[in-house]
Amino acid sequence: MKIVAVEARVYQIPGRRNAQDVPWVWGEMAQVYVSVTTEDGLEGIGEAFGYGIPGASAWVVNHTLAPLLVGRDAASIHDLTEMLFRKTHLFGRYGVTTFAISGVEMALWDLAGRRAEMPLYRLLGGAARTAIPAYASLVRYPEGHAQIEADARKAMDEGYAMLKLHQLSVESVALARAAIGADVPLTVDINCEWRPSEAIAMARAMEAYALLWLEEPVWPPEDFASLNRVRAEGGVPLASGENLCTAVQFAEMAAQQAVDYLQPSVTKVGGIAQWLKVADIAELNGIGLAPHSPYFGPGFAATLHLLAHRNQAQWVEKIYFDLEVEIFKDPIRFADGAFLVPDGPGLGVALDWEALEPFRKRD
């Protein structure tokens, strides 16, 4: 079936904090949602990473990728994606172009599932599970703030069985560990803030808090040799990958034995197929898988399908706050600490375009 339209839309949606008594609020979250429509009117949806540059990701979809896709067969997902990668590689293999391709590729898979009337996980070969336990991924708070402890405890009360912090101090990690107890898995995401020697010292200082992993401890993210050194000398398992370019860089990171967990991000890495390649790399190298998914839209749904299909990662990452508006017509259900994998056709979710409209941003 021929593609007749490809469109990315940008939304700026205020975040709603879960805790009632926080002294600050999380600002607007940029969302880039992609739709691909075929000549019979069927529509598939996807999500491209936007964050601080949503207009750029959407522009690439609307002005660079759409003209290459209109008139082509929507069922040729692999062929079309390969064509997009080749046509855009000169603009950078990592970044905006790959974010845009991720959104389009995801929409093509959603479309294929809708056409076949089966959920994505079944289209990929079936699911090993129907619900994915989630970990609460707290945003970065002021270091040592009492809210870290309060939200950590609140997340546990809500059923989350694991916690991630985005804090940089030992003091904050100690607060969270005290709040959740000794048995709950705890991870800390550094977002590439440290020099290698600093990362080794901090990893050692955090050793007492039994971290499941330390995430992206060094700058720059593609410095695999330094990650390898931090891993060997820091005494804490490492995770990384949300800032890597396609499966090629993951293979290199695995070859250098730089981390214990690979973290593909479905809205950034190139989409569903690239994510699966990274899962293969993890499996073939005996490395853990811990995908990056601080998303609310189709990207989160896609990650649930992928984790249901590939039973390699124990948890799905859920950023610990919600958006001001319910973006899906039928929200993804959370029960007993796990998200239920949507079982409708494709991604199994429908964006509520009407509810989203007030938050739409047009350049």
Which stretches of the chain bind Mg ion, using CB under 5 A? Answer: 189, 215
- Of residues 111 and 152, the one with the C-beta less far from Mg ion: 152
**Nearer Cβ to Mg ion, position 6 or 155?**
155
Nearer to Mg ion, 221 or 346 (CB): 221
Residues in Cβ contact with 48 at an 8 Å cutoff, skipping those fewer than 6 apart:
8, 32, 34, 57, 58, 61, 99, 100, 102, 103, 104, 267
For residue 7, the SS3 value is strand
What CA–CA distances, in Å, run from 310 to 52, 89, 143, 188, 305?
A: 30, 29, 36, 24, 9
Nearer Cβ to Mg ion (36/266): 266
Q: Which whole-number Å values give the CA distances from 131 to 87, 315, 333, 348, 349, in the listed order?
A: 38, 10, 10, 14, 15
What span, in angstroms and rounded, lies between the C-alpha atoms of 266 and 271?
Answer: 5
Nearest distance from residue 215's CB to Mg ion, in Å? 5
Q: Specify the residue, 110 or 151, whose C-beta has the smaller distance to Mg ion.
A: 151
To Mg ion, the closest distance from the beta carbon of 217 in angstroms equals 11
Closest CB 190 distance from Mg ion, rounded Å: 8
Judged by beta carbon, residue 47 or residue 110, the one nearer Mg ion is: 47
User: Shortest gap between Cβ of 242 and Mg ion (angstroms)?
Assistant: 5
CB 246 within 8 A of CB 92: no
Tell me whether residue 58 or residue 148 sits nearer to Mg ion (CB atom).
Answer: 148
> Left if phi > 0, otherwise alpha if psi is -120 to 50, otherwise beta: which for 348?
left
**37 neighbors 4 (Cβ within 8 angstroms):** yes
Could you give phi then psi for residue 3, rounded to 5 degrees? Answer: -80, 130
To the nearest 10 degrees (0 to 180), the angle between helices 96-116 and 298-309 is 70
Chain residue at closest Cβ approach to Mg ion: 189
CA distance 314 to 286: 15
- The residue among 250 and 359 lying less far from Mg ion, judged by its C-beta, is 250
Least spacing, CB of residue 165 vs Mg ion, in Å: 11
Tell the smallest beta-carbon distance from residue 42 to Mg ion (Å): 35
Minimum distance between the CB of residue 137 and Mg ion, rounded to whole angstroms?
Answer: 8
Asked if residue 220 has a cis previous peptide bond (ω within 30° of 0), the answer is yes
> How far apart are CB 223 and Mg ion at their closest, in Å?
16
Name the DSSP letter for residue 216.
S
